[in-house]
Amino acid sequence: MSGCAQKSLKELLPAYREGGLAGQDLRRVEEHLAKCTDCRAELSLVTLLAEEPVPDPGEAFWLAFPGRVARAVQEQTSPAAGSRARRWFAPRFALGAASLAVAVLAFVAVLLLRPAPLRIARVPSAQNTPALEDVLQTEPVSLSDMSASELAAAAAWANSAFAPIREAIRENLPDEGEQDLSDDLSDMNSAELQRVSIMLDRQAPSRRDRLHSDRSPVAPEPCFV
Amino acid sequence: MDDDLDLIKRTVAGDREAFDELVRRHQRQLYAMLFRMVGNQEDAADLMQRAFVKAFTGLGSFERRSSFKTWLYRIAINLAKNTYRDRARAEYVSIDDVVLSRNPRTLDALIVQENRSLVRKALAGLPEKQRTTLILRIQGEKKFEEIADLMQCSVGTAKANYHHAVQKLKALMERGAKAEKDRS
């Protein structure tokens, strides 16, 4: 069987199948198909190919795909930007938690480095005034051994020494009434906003409830047990 | 195309949601074309993601001489070419695998369901440009002018690739029909 040589007609077969022909072109093709087995066979082949089904990956795939592209773009354009983005997703009050941790470490360092409680608590008596160095080297302080006045002196010292640290912690905790996150939030898409909302709900549901109930400032949680 | 241009301008200005909308607009058709080119969902999804990422990073240099869709498809086709080239070498189409109807109008029998997979195999055996042209014309329903733009060739070349592709497919079937006839 020799092939049909009418190339110009064959080029029209896909359009004919798609219903995209009209007028003279449509008539030409229909008349030719009535006579040409080769072109009828080619039309069958074209139809078979055109009707090849494409499996649908599902609505969840389509909904998630733009986000997938966005993440891939972030990873590709800047690995540092990717890690910045990850940090950016964290709740803002994590900054306060980090500052609190630093303050705790600073307080512990102060306690370890300063022998002051011993010096202050152990008020030398008139009769017996050992050298400070002797006391420090040989006599560790036990709270149970301290008198009431010694304990009061130690507490006074601790309060005065700890006051700047307590102030620093308060300053670094975000004020929920004043911090404006609108710029940051407007950059987020709906999936990211939902994620942040879920994280906020998990982190401080009681604080959120108190906020909603009385709108009064919430006292910071005690730092030390 | 005007809507795409507006989204492109907004994307370049930093509006992330605008590019998400571009993705949503073109993802399904692009996926269908890529699936037909590479034959499996995973590769199609992966290629589609890479095409969109490449489009995003190249948006600044998009000269708008063609539509965004054509430009995006061109990126995807080039990505698919490299993927499919290696896989197609491993495929072998044997004429003996072709199951033909005893109907004298042998090529008409292609419409039979069981020949679908055989036609798919024959398609896989075509040279890359012919296969791509055939997929774009028949399954993508693109005009020859659009195909020429996509494949960066002349309209005449696009038509020639299409003709050669169809002839090769038919030749596979006709050879099988002849072999069947000689055996009976």
* Cα B4 → chain centroid: 23
Chain A hits for B119, Cβ within 8 Å: 45, 48-49
pLDDT of residue A192: 76
ipTM (interface pTM) = 0.77
Of B31, B105, B123, the CB nearest to A37: B105
CB pairs under 8 A between A and B: 113
CB contact under 8 A, A48 and B16: no
Judged by average pLDDT, the poorest of A20-24, B29-33, B50-54, B89-93 is B89-93
Q: Is B22:B50 a contact under the CB 8 Å cutoff?
A: no
Average pLDDT over residues B14-26: 94
* Cα A53 → chain centroid: 40
Q: Is B7:B21 a contact under the CB 8 Å cutoff?
A: yes
pLDDT of residue A180: 59
pLDDT of residue A108: 66
pLDDT of residue A177: 53
Output the CA–CA distances (angstroms, integers) from residue A38 to A3, A85, A102, B7, B138, in the order listed.
6, 60, 83, 47, 18
Nearest CA in chain A to B48: A69
CB contact under 8 A, A65 and B111: no
Of A3, A47, A48, the CB nearest to B167: A3
pLDDT of residue A117: 52
Judged by average pLDDT, the poorest of A69-73, B13-17, B80-84, B116-120 is B116-120
pLDDT of residue A189: 73
pLDDT of residue A77: 75
Contacts of residue B116, Cβ cutoff 8 Å, sequence gap at least 6: A48, A52
- Residues of chain A falling short of pLDDT 70: 1-2, 79-104, 106-143, 170-187, 203-225
Of B19, B57, B116, the CB nearest to A77: B57
pLDDT of residue A151: 78
Residue from B118, B138, B172, B175 to probe the interface with A (highest A Cβ count within 10 Å): B138
Q: What is the overall mean pLDDT for chain B?
A: 80
CB contact under 8 A, A52 and B27: no
The pTM (predicted TM-score) of the whole model is 0.55
Whether B56 has a pLDDT exceeding 70, the answer reads yes
pLDDT of residue A191: 77
Output the CA–CA distances (angstroms, integers) from residue B174 to A41, A50, B105, in the order listed.
11, 21, 10
Convert the pLDDT of each residue in B61-95 to its tens digit.
888 888 899 999 999 999 988 776 655 544 444 33
